[in-house]
Amino acid sequence: MKFALIPVAIVALLGGFFAYKLTQPRNDFVQSAMVGQPVPAFVLPPISESRPGVQTADLRDGKPKLVNFFASWCLPCRVEAPFLDRLEREGATIVAIAISDEGEDVDRFLAEFGNPFARIGDDENSQIQLEFGSSKVPETFVVDGEGVIRYHHIGDIAERDIPVLLRELEKAGQ
């Protein structure tokens, strides 16, 4: 009889613990460790004649920006292209970093899918991408005027991400 009460106690204990856990706030998404960190120091040459290259100083000119990692060979990048155009029309400054790409391929990509980028750097060995804490294309960072990463978007940008990114840009500008 007394021993038989032990399972009841275990259930009560576990139940109480779970109830406590349920009331605790938690993070619902994985955040990049780079959020809140300054961007790495880098100088990237241009990859396309249409736009200049990118270096760290460009990201510290006092204006918040989007930094978009893309590649002409990346299929989701094609899917997100129209939404980058939209963001640019809404006033976002977008700096691009092309990953493992060739100049002609990038030109062809921009001709076909539009060119909303202010600058495009050539990150041939993904070195700068890794230092940004990014591992895939496409990925997009919100960087404030001081060159500090404020937000990290993984994957392609879809319709519903536009207001989020605009809001993060505005926040980064304050």
Partner 1 sequence: MIAELGLAALWMAAALAALQLVAGAFGVRADSILVDMARPAAIVQALLVMGSFTALLYVFAVTDLSVALVASNSHSAKPFIYKVTGAWGSHEGSMLLWVTVLAMSGALVARFERRLDARSLAGTLAAQGALALGFYAFLLFSSNPFERLATPVPEGLGLNPLLQDIGLAFHPPTLYLGYVGLSVAFSFAVGALLTGRVDRAFADAMRPWVLGAWVFLTLGISAGSYWAYYELGWGGWWFWDPVENASLMPWLAATALLHSVSVLSSRGGLRTWTIMLAVTAFAMSMLGTFLVRSGILTSVHAFAVDPERGAFILVLMVLYTGAALGLFAWRASAIAEGQRFAVVSREGALVVNNVLLSAILAIVLFGTLYPVATEAFGVRVSVGPPYFNPVSAMFFLPLVLVLLVGPLLRWKRDRLDRIAKPAIAAAVVLGAALVGVAMLGGAGLLPALGIALAVALGVASWMPLKGRRLRYVELSVWGMVLAHFGLAVSLFGAAADSGFSKETLAASAIGDIMAIGPYEVELTSITPVAGPNWTATEATMLARRGGASYELHPQSRSFWQPQQQTSESALLGSWNGQLYAVIGEQADGGRWQVRLWWKPFVTLIWLGSILIALGGVLALVGRMGKRRKRDRARARTARQQAELAAL
Whether the Cβ atoms of residue 130 and residue 147 lie closer than 8 Å to each other: no
Whether the Cβ atoms of residue 96 and residue 119 lie closer than 8 Å to each other: yes
Neighbours of 124 (CB within 10 A): 15
Both tokens assigned to 25 = 């706030």
Interface size with partner 1, residues (CB under 8 A)? 33
Q: Which of 18, 31, 112, 170 binds partner 1 (CB under 8 A)?
A: 18
Considering the rule CB under 8 A, would residue 7 count as an interface residue with partner 1?
Answer: yes
Considering the rule CB under 8 A, would residue 125 count as an interface residue with partner 1?
Answer: yes
**Apex CA 66: angle with CA 172 and CA 152, to 5°?**
75
Query: Shortest approach of partner 1 to residue 6 CB, angstroms?
Result: 9
Of 85-93, 109-117, 122-130, 163-171, the segment contacting partner 1 by CB under 8 A is 122-130
Query: Shortest approach of partner 1 to residue 56 CB, angstroms?
Result: 22
Closest CA to 95 of 136, 134, 63, 133: 63
Instruction: Give contact residues for partner 1 (rule: CB under 8 A).
Output: 1, 4-5, 7-8, 11-12, 14-15, 17-24, 26, 28, 71, 73, 75-76, 79, 100, 124-126, 135-136, 155-156, 158
